[in-house]
Amino acid sequence: MATTNDLKNGTVLNLDGQLWAVVEFQHVKPGKGGAFVRTKLKNVLSGKVVDKTFNAGTKVETANVDKRDMQYLYKDGADFVFMDTSTYDQLHVSEAVVGDAVNYLLENQNALVATHEGNPLYVELPPSVVLEITYTEPGLQGDRSTGGTKPATLETGAEIQVPLFLETGTKVKVDTRDGSYLGRVND
């Protein structure tokens, strides 16, 4: 248990049996009446964001969320198997929990896996990853200066927009948060 005065960004609260991460908070002391805490909370499982206000000093139940650096090993049916890099324990994470990270996840890649009481909550990838383009239409000669883009399929099967001059086999840096092209990577 903690009070609303102890809230910090990233703190996970257990409200009515659901886990909510504090995205931002603000202590407010109006001229009249008691102080309160205005928060923006994100549901850990669904990603839904809500605004919630607490009276200052109210007791809130915090949840113990364990974040560990794990290595993605392989896909087993609908599950993704991760290995804890310190204990070598393996953890099966469902496709629903992995979510959009599946588009940028390669075998033997490290990711941050958050668990609560042994249940996986979410998988957090580094901000950017390097992936190879497995297929893209050839660019047209002289079509370099327009700044246009074309679709390209990555080795994970995800499709992103890349500049026209890139070819199949090129390694590119991709933002894992929104799938945007960040640049070409030279071997």
Count of the separate structural domains present in the chain: 3
pLDDT of 144 > 60? The answer is no
Residue 31: domain span: 2-60
Domain identity same for 165 and 134: yes
Together in a domain, 116 and 145: no
Enumerate the β-bridge partners of residue 19. 14
Residue 32: pLDDT band by 50, 70, 90 thresholds?
Answer: confident
What integer pLDDT is reported at residue 146 of this predicted model?
A: 60
**Which tokens go with 169?**
């086999």
95 and 53 both lie in a single domain: no
- pTM, 2 dp: 0.69
Q: Residue 127's pLDDT is what?
A: 87
Q: Are residues 119 and 157 in the same domain?
A: no
The domain boundary, picked from 20, 37, 60, lies at 60
From 101, 124, 147, the end of a domain falls on 124
Residue 99's domain is classified under what CATH number?
2.40.50.140
Residue 53: how many CA atoms within 13 Å on its side-chain side? 7
For 60-81, what is each residue's pLDDT tens digit? 888 888 888 999 999 888 899 9
Query: What is the domain-level CATH number for residue 48?
Result: 2.30.30.30
The span from the CA of 96 to the CA of 62, in Å, is 24
Helices marked H in 67-176 = 95-98
Is 74 found in the same domain as 100? yes
